[in-house]
Chain A
């Protein structure tokens, strides 16, 4: 029985690995489609990101004369990290076997690896925009990353574990309580999600104005398959962040491995949550305006403080 469970767990892990990589562009497409509707456009359809990826993969890659090997491996590293990150977050079932190897702190580490490599690659060609983007990305992240860690810490304090499955298990199944500390953490998390995924108000994913770019400025020099991998990685990152949000703040419906009867419901619930989160993101972006770059640290500082406050409240109230 033990052995069988392990097999199921590994199967689940592999299934999720496959699922996230295929579903992630769909989520991006859904967000974009919602935005189009909100802006009274008809939009390109939810499948547009797949078409873009196919187009990019078939093009010839063009890179600058002075691009170093670092520039060429970075897309693979970034894609690999994001794929892994999205795959280890329990969104359908807990008890994924890989989660023992990487807990929430390691998860933050995975995001950091991808970010550092992307920033380094942006500086590799030596264009003004590239280093500008790298600098801004690191600026945003040095406040967003500790805020994310604090959000995780609040959740781990409640569940007495830094293992994601344990956290989700504790929050979803065992205790039915409203945690005031988690409410603060949730607010902080939303801000971090917006900042880390280069969304309005920190960055604008669809901007054409180089001087206001952050994420896009870093990847200006990429083309074809490299760009495709980075775009795909961005989709995966958004997917991973929304998954974290679901796992921490809306874990109801996530099942245990081997619970076949609950599986259809769990998948349906997940899809519903993803749809709602994507639509919510689009609405939030539609009603807010982009901040000046030097207002962004204040915005993120708020997230950091909220997250620390959440943790403090947990210490004070024990909840």
Chain B
């Protein structure tokens, strides 16, 4: 293909333009919402697929560079497509393909005007994320970053008539911008005061910062990207914004947008900053561990299914940050294979999370459409009414719970292998931190299984908790196909780890100069050598299926298949109702009790003599009152001080200007 002169970056340029055209067409077609649903979104899905394929092509190609005749006078837009960008483009394309297909069905009930706008914002969001991955100078990056943030803000506030949603959107916008400022400052530090042309990433790569300034740049980047990714304590917007947004948007935000922050951290740490320091890794590791445990703990006590998933995203971001931290540590100490291993685990998990979290989020959208209910306490028994959604969501749930042979297990396996291979670091303190970190990861993974059993069990299993659930309808054909694509992705990523790791190796080579190289053949995943550890999901699946089949055949052959349906046994208790099942709160109760100090629990329990008893319980985040409320109070105080100057009279303001001028003239 190169001979023809077409580069992957050109193709991506066309795809981006096509996306913009689709968005504008959506806005123009708002009188015919059918057309938007049936034509625009499927075309968009096709574009996503092409984007992913182009990414796959670019992964093996040499970096492509493009300078656009746009942007600032001395700083035109620079684009660059290297293996790291290509990998995240595959992630973006793969996940958004499923989400866009699903959107073709999901938005069918939306009014035309809103739909046109949503269509435009949706495509701008996709374009923004693509450009973030391609940007090769700070200005381009910030423009793309802001496009992404603003379009997603408008998407989050689609239902802006509801005050809570406006509030959630505001919080999201605020934290996104605090983060953006930090990122901008980080770029400012990295360009080192060398004029505007030094804002290209190439100049930053060439600049050699002192360890103090590169640490400052790293910390600012970690803060800025951490705010986007939802690293504790900057996570507060996530559980508010995700439930507020329409489900496909939540899927994209959680599945893809959070990964652009991971991309940013990787780009800054390993590409733009030439050298790393070991304590950066320890910091990332510690933050990641806290975030992971915090996220999963709060996920376990949620009653709203989308909030639960949002907290679970926080957990996964924590795991990714742990992977990045390990990569930094190993890289600094020159353990190349190990650095490649933990980077592989990080990238693999990013990809996995994009697939299963998008799948789960759009699944909650299907449930929301079918029942109008986000509160798990009013759902239940949906497996009978929504069999397609139930089966596909089961794949997502098993994958996110890290069960073999699906994809979540592979990345967890790789991450744990990285921990197991870690002894022998020259720093004995880090050596001691490693087993503790591995234990925390194992704990978070086990808790994730708890959360997912709760999520799936309360929503899909048991008896319907409300009468209206009996009329729940399954996901339609478009919605289903989007979910099938993502579920298929989870299965394929789980069964073909060797192929995926080979692709990721290209990224590792480009980013940290070393790769894994698979010691074994295509069936066995063996990061170091087969003596050390190997895993073959294919054989694993075959063995489990074989054993199950054998059991089934034997049982059916040797015994009868007689089956009788009857009322539930329930230890002979006849008056069993749906209200007696565990609710989401009930299922989370042990976690609430064990980790009590971490939660802020408000409980209202009526007295036994109350004739109209009202139960109320709420579990909140302590960080909100510890960290955010003081900041809010401080800001309010400062702004009220500032308002002393404001009287709304024009002559006063003119007087201020005059005084300022005089003061300046006196001093300068």
* Residues of chain A at the chain B interface (Cβ within 8 Å): 57-58, 60-68, 70, 76-77, 79-81, 83-84, 98, 100-103, 105-106, 109-110, 112-113, 115-116, 119-120, 123-132, 134-136, 138-139, 141-143, 145-146, 149-150, 153, 156-157, 160-163, 166, 210, 220-221, 223, 225, 229, 294, 297, 304, 307-308, 311-312, 314-316
Q: Which of B442, B456, B569, B576 sits near A149, CB closer than 8 Å?
A: B442
Please state if A65 and B567 are interface contacts (CB–CB under 8 Å).
yes
B331 to chain A, nearest CB (A): 21
A194 to chain B, nearest CB (A): 17
Q: Which of B423, B432, B559, B565 sits near A225, CB closer than 8 Å?
A: B559
B587 within 8 A of A: yes
B211 within 8 A of A: no
Q: A221 contacts which chain B residues (CB < 8 A)?
A: 568-570
Q: Which of A79, A119, A166 sits near B457, CB closer than 8 Å?
A: A119
Q: Which of B534, B560, B565, B576 sits near A63, CB closer than 8 Å?
A: B565
B111 within 8 A of A: no
Given known A98-B539, A138-B450, contact A106–B413 (CB-CB < 8 A): yes
For the complex with contacts A67-B565, A161-B531, A311-B438, 5 further pairs of A-B residues with Cβ separation under 8 Å are A58-B560, A62-B566, A106-B540, A127-B570, A134-B582
Closest to A98 in B: B543
Please state if A308 and B462 are interface contacts (CB–CB under 8 Å).
no
* Residues of chain B at the chain A interface (Cβ within 8 Å): 380-381, 383-384, 390, 394, 398, 401-404, 409, 412-413, 416-417, 419-420, 423, 431-432, 434-436, 438-439, 442-443, 445-447, 449-450, 452-454, 456-458, 461-463, 524, 530-536, 538-540, 543-545, 547-548, 551-552, 555, 558-560, 562-571, 576, 578, 580-582, 586-587, 589-591, 593-594
Please state if A126 and B380 are interface contacts (CB–CB under 8 Å).
yes
Q: B563 contacts which chain A residues (CB < 8 A)?
A: 60-63
Closest to A103 in B: B533
Q: Which of A66, A76, A110, A112 sits near B552, CB closer than 8 Å?
A: A76
Closest to A139 in B: B590
CA distance in complex: A297, B447 (Å):
13
Pull 25 A–B residue pairs with CB atoms less than 8 Å apart, ordered by A.
A57-B559, A58-B560, A60-B564, A64-B567, A66-B463, A79-B547, A80-B548, A100-B539, A103-B535, A106-B404, A106-B413, A112-B403, A112-B446, A120-B456, A123-B462, A125-B568, A126-B381, A129-B571, A141-B446, A150-B435, A225-B555, A294-B590, A307-B439, A311-B439, A315-B423
Please state if B384 and A68 are interface contacts (CB–CB under 8 Å).
yes
Please state if B532 and A160 are interface contacts (CB–CB under 8 Å).
yes
Please state if A163 and B531 are interface contacts (CB–CB under 8 Å).
yes
Please state if B533 and A161 are interface contacts (CB–CB under 8 Å).
yes
CA distance in complex: A128, B383 (Å):
18
Q: Which of B449, B536, B552, B591 sits near A141, CB closer than 8 Å?
A: B449
B257 to chain A, nearest CB (A): 29
CA distance in complex: A210, B483 (Å):
39
Q: Which of A130, A132, A220, A308 sits near B435, CB closer than 8 Å?
A: A308
Closest 3 pairs between A and B when the two form their complex, measured CB to CB: A126-B462, A146-B442, A126-B463
CA distance in complex: A227, B409 (Å):
29
CA distance in complex: A149, B563 (Å):
39
Closest to B421 in A: A160
Q: A80 contacts which chain B residues (CB < 8 A)?
A: 544-545, 547-548, 551
Please state if A135 and B524 are interface contacts (CB–CB under 8 Å).
no
Q: B571 contacts which chain A residues (CB < 8 A)?
A: 129, 210, 220
CA distance in complex: A76, B571 (Å):
24
CA distance in complex: A161, B401 (Å):
25
Closest to A131 in B: B582
Given known A57-B555, A116-B449, A146-B439, contact A65–B434 (CB-CB < 8 A): no
Q: B590 contacts which chain A residues (CB < 8 A)?
A: 135-136, 139, 294, 297
Interface centre among A81, A120, A308 (most CB of B within 10 A): A120
Please state if A84 and B562 are interface contacts (CB–CB under 8 Å).
no
Q: Which of A76, A83, A146, A223 sits near B443, CB closer than 8 Å?
A: A146
Q: B434 contacts which chain A residues (CB < 8 A)?
A: 315
Closest to A146 in B: B442
CA distance in complex: A101, B409 (Å):
14
Q: A103 contacts which chain B residues (CB < 8 A)?
A: 533-535
Q: A210 contacts which chain B residues (CB < 8 A)?
A: 571
Please state if A83 and B551 are interface contacts (CB–CB under 8 Å).
yes
CA distance in complex: A124, B590 (Å):
20
Q: Which of B439, B524, B565 sits near A101, CB closer than 8 Å?
A: B524
CA distance in complex: A126, B447 (Å):
23
Please state if B568 and A156 are interface contacts (CB–CB under 8 Å).
no
A224 to chain B, nearest CB (A): 8
Q: Which of A64, A135, A308 sits near B566, CB closer than 8 Å?
A: A64
Closest to B452 in A: A116
Given known A76-B551, A80-B544, A127-B580, contact A163–B533 (CB-CB < 8 A): yes
Interface centre among B453, B463, B540, B548 (most CB of A within 10 A): B453
Please state if A142 and B449 are interface contacts (CB–CB under 8 Å).
yes
B421 to chain A, nearest CB (A): 9
Q: A220 contacts which chain B residues (CB < 8 A)?
A: 569-571
CA distance in complex: A127, B573 (Å):
10
Please state if A116 and B401 are interface contacts (CB–CB under 8 Å).
yes
CA distance in complex: A205, B283 (Å):
46
Please state if A116 and B403 are interface contacts (CB–CB under 8 Å).
yes
CA distance in complex: A113, B453 (Å):
11
Q: B555 contacts which chain A residues (CB < 8 A)?
A: 57, 225, 229
Q: A153 contacts which chain B residues (CB < 8 A)?
A: 416, 419-420, 435, 438
CA distance in complex: A90, B542 (Å):
20
Q: Which of A110, A146, A156 sits near B420, CB closer than 8 Å?
A: A156
Q: A57 contacts which chain B residues (CB < 8 A)?
A: 555, 558-559
Q: B540 contacts which chain A residues (CB < 8 A)?
A: 101-102, 106
